[in-house]
Structure 1
Amino acid sequence: MKSIYYISIDASTFSACLPYVSKPEGCNMRRMSNLITLFTAITAFFFGCFITKILTIVDKCPAHKSGVAKLEPHPNLFLMVLIMSAPRNVEQRNAMRETWLKLGQPLQQPYFPEENIYLPAYGARGHLQMETVTSQANRLRLYMDWAAKLPYMDAPKTKRTIQVKHFFAIGMQHISSVVRAELAREQSQHNDLLLLPRLHDAYTNLTEKLLQSIDALTHHYEFSYLIKVDDDSYVKLDNLLNVLISYDRKLLRKSSEYRHEQLPQLYWGYFNGRATIKSKGQWSEPNYYLSKHFITYALGGGYVISRKLCEFVANNSQHLSTYVSEDVSMGTWLAPLRHVYRWHDPRFDTTYVPRACRSHHLVLHKRNEVRMRDLYMGKLCSPEQSSARSLPAEYYYDWSKPVDKCCDSLVV
Structure 2
Amino acid sequence: MARGWRQSKNRIVKNVFCFGCLFVLPLLVLAVIVYSKSKNVESLPAPRELPSQKFDDSPQFYLIALIMSDPTKSATRKAVRETWLSNTHKDVKHYFVVGSKGLAQDVLQNVLEESSSYHDMVILESLNESYSSLTGKTLAGFQWLHSNHNFTFLLKCDDDSFVRMSPLIEQLRKQPQSHLYWGFFKGGSSVFQKGKWKENDWFLCDTYLPYALGGGYVLSSDLVEFIAKNAPLLQQYKSEDVSVGVWLSPLKIHRVHDVRFDTEFKSRGCYNEYLITHKQSANQMREKQANLLKTGKLCQSELRVRYSYNYNWTVLPSKCCKNFDPELP
Structure 1: how far apart are the matches of 2:70 and 2:281?
Answer: 14
Selected match of 1:354 from 257, 260, 267: 267
Does structure 1 residue 330 correspond to structure 2 residue 314? Answer: no
TM-score, length-scaled by structure 1:
0.63
CA offset digits 1:102-149 (Å, max 9, x no partner): 22x34xxxxxxxxxxxxxxxxxxxxxxxxxxxxxxxxxxxxxxxxxxx
Q: Write out aligned runs for 1:15-26 (5 A).
A: none
Q: Which residue of 2 aligns with 1:205?
A: 133
SS in 1 for 2:227: helix
Q: Write out aligned runs for 1:62-81 (5 A).
A: 75-81=59-65
Structure 1: how far apart are the matches of 2:58 and 2:307?
Answer: 41
SS in 2 for 1:375: helix
Structure 2: how far apart are the matches of 1:330 and 1:203?
Answer: 16
Does structure 1 residue 169 correspond to structure 2 residue 169? Answer: no
Q: Which residue of 1 aligns with 2:17?
A: none
Structure 2: how far apart are the matches of 1:405 and 1:246?
Answer: 28
Does structure 1 residue 319 correspond to structure 2 residue 303? Answer: no
Kept in 2, the 8 Å contact 1:298–1:331? The answer is yes
How far 1:74 sits from its partner (Å)? Answer: 5.2
Q: Write out aligned runs for 1:17-166 (5 A).
A: 75-103=59-87, 105-106=88-89, 162-166=90-94
Letter in 1 for 2:220: S
Does structure 1 residue 284 correspond to structure 2 residue 198? Answer: yes
Q: Which residue of 1 aligns with 2:10?
A: none
Q: Which residue of 1 aligns with 2:155?
A: 227
Structure 2: how far apart are the matches of 1:296 and 1:392?
Answer: 20
Letter in 2 for 1:245: R
Structure 1: how far apart are the matches of 2:280 and 2:131?
Answer: 19
Structure 1: how far apart are the matches of 2:259 and 2:218?
Answer: 14
Q: Which residue of 2 aligns with 1:363?
A: 276
Structure 1: how far apart are the matches of 2:123 and 2:200?
Answer: 29
How far 1:240 sits from its partner (Å)? Answer: 0.2
Structure 2: how far apart are the matches of 1:74 and 1:164?
Answer: 14
Kept in 1, the 8 Å contact 2:312–2:320? The answer is yes
Q: Which residue of 2 aligns with 1:186?
A: 114
Structure 2: how far apart are the matches of 1:265 and 1:381?
Answer: 33
How far 1:409 sits from its partner (Å)? Answer: 3.1
Kept in 2, the 8 Å contact 1:371–1:382? The answer is no
Q: Which residue of 1 aligns with 2:316?
A: 402
Does structure 1 residue 392 correspond to structure 2 residue 314? Answer: no
Q: Which residue of 1 aligns with 2:165?
A: 237
Kept in 2, the 8 Å contact 1:295–1:332? The answer is yes
Structure 2: how far apart are the matches of 1:348 and 1:188?
Answer: 32
Kept in 2, the 8 Å contact 1:374–1:382? The answer is no
Kept in 1, the 8 Å contact 2:208–2:242? The answer is yes
CA offset digits 1:62-81 (Å, max 9, x no partner): x99xxxx899x951111010
Structure 2: how far apart are the matches of 1:213 and 1:365?
Answer: 20
Structure 2: how far apart are the matches of 1:96 and 1:275?
Answer: 31
Structure 2: how far apart are the matches of 1:74 and 1:89?
Answer: 30
Kept in 2, the 8 Å contact 1:356–1:381? The answer is no
How far 1:246 sits from its partner (Å)? Answer: 3.2
Pick 1 or 2: higher relative contact order, CA cutoff 8 A, min separation 6.
1
Structure 2: how far apart are the matches of 1:246 and 1:350?
Answer: 21
Letter in 2 for 1:334: L
Selected match of 2:290 from 377, 390, 399: 377
How far 1:215 sits from its partner (Å)? Answer: 0.5
Letter in 1 for 2:269: A
Kept in 2, the 8 Å contact 1:82–1:166? The answer is yes
Q: Which residue of 1 aligns with 2:257?
A: 344
How far 1:177 sits from its partner (Å)? Answer: 0.8
Structure 2: how far apart are the matches of 1:184 and 1:321?
Answer: 31
Structure 2: how far apart are the matches of 1:74 and 1:237?
Answer: 23
How far 1:286 sits from its partner (Å)? Answer: 1.4
Q: Which residue of 2 aligns with 1:258?
A: none
Letter in 2 for 1:310: V
Letter in 2 for 1:169: V
How far 1:381 sits from its partner (Å)? Answer: 4.1
Kept in 2, the 8 Å contact 1:80–1:166? The answer is yes
Letter in 1 for 2:255: R
How far 1:355 sits from its partner (Å)? Answer: 1.2
SS in 2 for 1:100: coil
Letter in 1 for 2:77: R
How far 1:197 sits from its partner (Å)? Answer: 1.2
Structure 2: how far apart are the matches of 1:239 and 1:195?
Answer: 29
SS in 2 for 1:227: strand
SS in 1 for 2:244: helix
Kept in 1, the 8 Å contact 2:54–2:147? The answer is no
Kept in 1, the 8 Å contact 2:99–2:137? The answer is yes
TM-score, length-scaled by structure 2:
0.78
Selected match of 1:307 from 196, 199, 221: 221
SS in 1 for 2:146: helix
